[in-house]
């Protein structure tokens, strides 16, 4: 199970791909459940990179826990929430339940 993530070119904001657009919350990310879906996401990422929308495009492993998307790697958990020592910053500041990685 994977989602497609990147950083937005203009401001570096961590973003995830969802139905043709890039969203700022991993909760809204489109999940690829099979290889074909992964390939579709990958192609969308390459196109967005070529189109100068995003950089550092990557497919990352996730799991669903309690109905929400949860990245497997700590690095990606921190990208999705914000610095663990500053819960007043990053996405967790906008969506408090993301804090507490």
Partner 1 sequence: MYRYDEFDHAFVTARVAEFADQVERRLSGEITEDQFKPLRLMNGVYLQLHAYMLRIAIPYGTLNSRQMRMLAHIARTYDKGYGHFTTRQNIQFNWPKLTDIPAILTELASVEMHALQTSGNCIRNVTADHFAGAAADEVADPRPYAEILRQWSSVHPEFSYLPRKFKIAVTGAGRDRAAIQVHDIGLQLKRNASGDLGFAVWVGGGQGRTPIIAKKIRDFLPEEHLLSYVTAVMRVYNLYGRRDNKYKARIKILVHETGTEEFARQVEAEWEYLKDGELKLPDEDIRAINAYFAPPPLVSRPEGDAIVKQARLDSRGFSEWVDRNVFTHRHPDYASVTISLKGIGEAPGDASDAQMDAIADIAERHAFDELRISHEQNVILPHVARADLKAVYDALVATGLATPNAGLITDIIACPGLDYCALANARSIPVAQEISQRFASLDRQREIGELKLKISGCINACGHHHVGHIGILGVEKKGTELYQVTLGGSGDENASIGEIVGRGFAPDEITDAIETVVDTYLGLRLSPSETFLDAYRRVGATPFKEALYGTESKAA
Query: Whole-angstrom Cα distance, residue 4 to residue 41?
Result: 6
Part in contact with partner 1 (CB under 8 A); list of ranges 16-24, 30-38, 39-47, 84-92: 84-92
The greatest distance separating any two alpha carbons of the chain, rounded to the nearest whole angstrom, comes to 38
Member of 3, 41, 79, 98 binding partner 1 (CB under 8 A): 79
Part in contact with partner 1 (CB under 8 A); list of ranges 22-30, 37-45, 62-70, 77-85: 77-85
What DSSP designation does 31 have?
Answer: P
Whole-number minimum distance, CB 36 to partner 1, in Å? 26
Are 15 and 6 in contact, with CB atoms under 8 Å apart?
A: yes
Give the tokens for residue 63: 């799991």
Contact footprint for partner 1 (CB under 8 A): 7, 9-14, 49, 51-52, 55-56, 72-75, 78-79, 82-86, 89-90
């Amino acid at each position: 199970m994977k989602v497609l993530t990147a950083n937005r070119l203009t401001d570096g904001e961590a973003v995830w791909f969802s139905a043709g657009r890039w969203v700022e919350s991993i909760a809204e990310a489109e999940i690829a459940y099979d290889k074909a879906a992964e390939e579709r996401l990958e192609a969308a990422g390459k196109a967005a990179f070529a189109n100068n929308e995003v950089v550092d495009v990557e497919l990352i492993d996730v799991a669903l826990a309690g109905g929400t998307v949860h990245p497997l790697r700590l690095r990606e958990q921190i990208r999705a929430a914000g610095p663990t020592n500053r819960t007043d910053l990053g996405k967790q500041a906008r969506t408090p339940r993301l804090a507490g990685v």
